Chain A
């Protein structure tokens, strides 16, 4: 791991005494870690341990109860995230999702390249309500990596994916190691092997 000052300079992630409480119950507290280029942190824990909550706090989608998570840069392009509970727009096609995501983040149009990458060229004109759960998970992955983020946050990325989809996740994780850091919440033993560090929220 890199030191705090290096981490901030390199635009990677610093988590400091982070905690989340619902009512009087702490899901987790005093979590402190830095992630530098090449770090891949696997977040473990049983259902309800707070894996997804931790990821959402890091992404700025939920406020922490204590501490903070910070990184340099525009969150829209620095951080990419794909989660299980995030839905796609049912009336928009796969291609329209990628175009929409690219324009909102003001990044160059990579729709064709990403469609090829996730193997959905033939399904590009289908509405996301007409494709399978696994295909939707691939679209979310493509949107997460669209801006070449320094920080990639994935919540159970292999859930609902077939063998090819899981390979895609593994490739994306390897590429991310060259570009920045990764936070991956999972309980899958195969996905667990993709990490360089582990954080068990049950402990």
Chain B
């Protein structure tokens, strides 16, 4: 990557980080949502061991909803606050996509880590394969960030943006959530070598591949939307 591209991408990333640190709108919404849902789950299952399948699904649903509350907004906000034209005049679409996707990745990783600590702290679920959990979490967050950034970018210039972003995101996210749940189910269930080497590793590789695909496809696709 040339220094010009790097400078442009980090300029967008820096702008997003500064805006978020000063306004704290996205991350606070995510964490409050995560805290409320984790506390609710832990209260409703007080003194009971949550089944690994349900625990993995719950964890993913919490991370998914926390992220789709705020992530598509990085593009939609530009339109709503009338800064989109400023960006179109000054930037290259690929650099803008990368900058915003990286910001989304940082935001969702921070959210997911905090939710994980809260979840394991409140529900006392066991973590039997930590490395698989980390791979699933990182791969899942990267896929989620790439997908949601792409959906936000694709609908940014249309009317009914928020509704449309959700409609486009659902089929893309279903597959991703399924892989995420599979990986985490193995990571937090009783240790079984066959399960780890089979479904666990397959889910981890699938999530990482999905993330690579969304980050590779996103910039050229957004550049086409930008031109039209």
**B18 within 8 A of partner (CB):** yes
Judging by beta carbons under 8 Å apart, are B83 and A87 in contact?
A: yes
Judging by beta carbons under 8 Å apart, are A86 and B86 in contact?
A: yes
Q: Which of A89, A104, A106, A127 gathers the greatest number of chain B CB atoms within 10 Å?
A: A104
List of B residues within 8 angstroms of A106 by Cβ: 4, 7-8
Judging by beta carbons under 8 Å apart, are A90 and B81 in contact?
A: yes
Within 8 A of A (CB), among B113-148: none
Q: Which of A105, A106, A127 gathers the greatest number of chain B CB atoms within 10 Å?
A: A106
Judging by beta carbons under 8 Å apart, are A88 and B86 in contact?
A: yes
Within 8 A of B (CB), among A61-95: 61, 63, 75-76, 79-81, 83, 85-92
- What is the minimal beta-carbon distance from B133 to any residue of chain A, in angstroms? 35
Judging by beta carbons under 8 Å apart, are B83 and A89 in contact?
A: yes
**B158 within 8 A of partner (CB):** no
**A59 within 8 A of partner (CB):** yes
**A103 within 8 A of partner (CB):** yes
A-B contact count (CB 8 A): 65
Chain A residue, CB-CB nearest to B14: A100
Chain A residue, CB-CB nearest to B86: A86
**A16 within 8 A of partner (CB):** no
| A119 to B92 CA separation, bound complex (whole angstroms) | 30
List of B residues within 8 angstroms of A86 by Cβ: 82-83, 85-86
| A105 to B8 CA separation, bound complex (whole angstroms) | 8
Judging by beta carbons under 8 Å apart, are A92 and B15 in contact?
A: yes
List of A residues within 8 angstroms of B81 by Cβ: 87, 89-90
List of A residues within 8 angstroms of B87 by Cβ: 104
List of B residues within 8 angstroms of A59 by Cβ: 89
Interface positions of B (Cβ within 8 A of A): 4, 7-8, 10-12, 14-15, 18-19, 22-23, 81-83, 85-92, 95, 228
For the complex of A and B, 9 pairs with smallest distance between CB atoms: A103-B11, A87-B82, A91-B22, A104-B90, A91-B19, A104-B91, A106-B4, A86-B85, A87-B83
